[in-house]
Amino acid sequence: MKSRDKNILEHILIYCDQIFQAVELFGNAYEIFKNDAVYRNACCMCILQIGEITGKLSKEIQEKRPEIPWRAIKDMRNICAHSYGDIDIETVWDTIINDIPAFRSECENLLMES
């Protein structure tokens, strides 16, 4: 694995862990997330960063794991970056609770294979 890909994957893990820390700090409840702008902004910033750096992974890495929705990850970044206060909060919450843990696990597996 290229050192650049390794570095990107390590940063993805950091952002995923920061999302987990936010959930732990604020609470694992949709109602809290929906009503707390600081909580939402913290998680959205991490999602934004994940989407941004995911786009910098080599084609080799992306082709190694075609089951990972690489395009959807970048699209979620664009939603967080360009919705200008009109983000679908339920979609973001679903991403945090259901998608980020699985994505983190896939990235960790990629790192272990290197």
Active site residues: 77, 82
User: What residues have CB less than 8 Å from 88, skipping those under 6 apart?
Assistant: 79
Handedness of CA 60, 63, 68, 69 (dihedral sign): positive
| Number of other CB atoms surrounding residue 67 within 10 Å | 6
